[in-house]
Copies of this chain bind each other. A is one copy, B any other.
Amino acid sequence: MEKVFPSIDEAIADIKDGAMIAVPGFFACGVPRALLQAIIKKGTKNLTLTCGCGPLLGAADELRTLVQKGQLKKVIDSYGLFRSASKGMEDPFEQAVRAGTIEFEVYPMGTMAEKYRAGGAGIPAFYTPTGVGSVVEEGVVTNIEANRGKKETRIIDGRKYVLEYALEPDFAFIHAYIGDKEGNLRYAKTARNFNHVMATAAKVTIAEVETLVESGKLNADDVHTPGIYIHRMIQVPRPKFAITID
C-alpha cells in the first residue's frame, strides 16, 4: 500500500483554513520543518498547532513567519514560551499571546503525550495524577479567560486524579529518519519523541522522511511506527537545526 506523494505541496493540498495540525519535536529535535515551511508557503490561515514540547521554539524562524503572516489561531503545548522572560517580551508569538490574538493552551508534557496516545488508541478520557495541586487541576490553562473550562477530579484508592481528554488533530506532520514506501517509519534517537503518538492520533498523518526505502528494507521487529498510521509521505533533505533554545 504505497503512501508516497509526488510533492510536499500535493501532500498538504487539502489542508484548509481552520485546520488543527499536530507538530512533533522536542525543542529543535525531531521537528517536521519541511512540512512547516510548506504550510507557510501555502498560506493556510486560522491554524491550531498542537505541540508537545516547544517544537516552535526549535523552529523559531517558522514560528516567527507564521505569527507575522497571521496564520495562527491557537497553539497547544507544554513548553511554548522562551525560558527567558526578557527575550519573551520581544518575541512576536508571546506578544500575540499577551494581546490575546493567539490562544495559548498549556498542559503538562506527560498529559500532552497521553492525550495523543489516547486519541490514537480509542481511549476518550483518562485519569492522571499529574497537575493535581496546581492550576492544571482547576481548569484548562489558557491565556483566553473565557476558555478556562473547569476540569474534573476524582479520588481513586485515596489519591486525587485529574480527568483529561483525548486529542485528535485533523492532521499530523511527522519527521522520520527513514521510512519505507508503505509508511513504516523509524526515528533517530531522541528525535522520536512526539512523532509516534501524533502519527496515531491524527485523522490524516503526513510524514516527511530523510531516507525513503523500498518495502521490506526495514526489519519488521524494528519498525517504530507501523504504516497503518501513515497516510501520505514525502522525502525531504535532512534539516539543519541550531541545538539551542533561549
Contact = CB atoms under 8 A, between A and B. Distances in A.
Interface of A: 114, 118, 121-129, 156-157, 159, 161, 165, 186-189, 192, 220-222, 224
Contact of A125 (B127, B188, B192, B220): B127
Copies in the complex: 2
A124 B188 contact: no
A147 to B, nearest CB: 18
Contact of A189 (B126, B157, B221): B221
A165 B159 CA distance: 14
Nearest to A113: B121
Nearest to A124: B156
B221 A161 contact: no
Given A189-B220, A221-B186, A114 B123 contact: yes
Contact of A159 (B124, B127, B188, B189): B124
Nearest to A187: B221
A82 B165 CA distance: 39
A111 B222 CA distance: 25
Contacts of A118: 126
A159 to B, nearest CB: 7
A228 to B, nearest CB: 16
Nearest to A130: B122
Contacts of A114: 121, 123
A91 to B, nearest CB: 34
Contacts of A188: 221
A4 B123 CA distance: 37
Given A188-B221, A189-B220, A122 B126 contact: no
